[in-house]
Structure 1
């Protein structure tokens, strides 16, 4: 595979489908212990992903913001492979449902007495907030592209 030195090949897949495949200038992802930014010639890396936003900056075209529920990211030989449990584009996210899920998770956090229940609620809250943030990023990006 011929990859220009100024780019990385990025493949994003979730269970059963390829979400994105192409060359990017930069990839930002929510690694388990903090956000990682992958640029060309990045050192080899394997890390778990937490719920959050993947930002792809393609060689051509608009930046893309994707929701990821968790999974793994690998960097090897200028190829970034993201294997996720669930990946959603902004147009696949239901804002009303995500807002409702955030409220339910917040309520569960307030009412939980057991650590395990609180951990589940924290994860559910992180997922809902990440989905809402993807929608916010997409809206901001659209407004920059088409000012009112």
Structure 2
């Protein structure tokens, strides 16, 4: 079996997670992608959602991202997103409230960039928190 991959999840404000992993699952604009050690180089655009990281120690990390990029090359995986947060740091109840508020704004006709970003971020937080359960 190939050596585990070095993985870093980086947001605009901090390194959210860093370590070795044996598998990563993320959603790109072209669909879900699974990354295993030895994966061919790839650069893909992420959609808002939950990235799953299966760490070398058999733990599983779930990270909410609001989009961004995933880069794979030479045994290294970089996940870059303006917003990224570990699912364990997210309150599902609060995320659901934010999602409902954003949906209400969209339903009221507020289809502007801020509202769509609010909706995407809240959706990503809910998906990540639910995957952690």
Q: Distance in 1 between matches of 2:82 and 2:26?
A: 14
Equivalent residue for 2:51? 54
Q: How does 1:17-96 map to 2 (within 5 A)?
A: 17-96=14-93
Q: 1:12 aligns with which of 9, 21, 24?
A: 9
> Which structure 1 segments of 5+ residues have no match?
140-148
Equivalent residue for 2:120? 126
What SS class does the counterpart of residue 39 from structure 2 fall into?
Answer: coil
Higher relative CO (Cα under 8 Å, sequence separation at least 6) belongs to 2
Runs of at least 4 residues off by over 6 Å:
none
Q: Higher helix fraction: Structure 1 or Structure 2?
A: 1
> Which structure 2 segments of 5+ residues have no match?
none
RMSD across aligned C-alpha pairs, in angstroms?
A: 2.0
- TM-score under structure 1 normalisation? 0.78
For residues 11-51 of structure 1, the C-alpha deviation after alignment (integer angstroms, 9 at most, x for no partner) is: 11112321222211101112122221111111111112121
Q: Distance in 1 between matches of 2:52 and 2:22?
A: 11
The question of whether the paired residues in 2 share the 8 Å contact of 1:108 and 1:118 is answered with no
The alpha carbon displacement at 1:54 in A equals 0.7
Tell me the number of residue pairs that the alignment of Structure 1 and Structure 2 aligns. Answer: 133
- TM-score under structure 2 normalisation? 0.86
Q: 2:105 aligns with which of 103, 108, 112?
A: 108
Equivalent residue for 1:138? 132
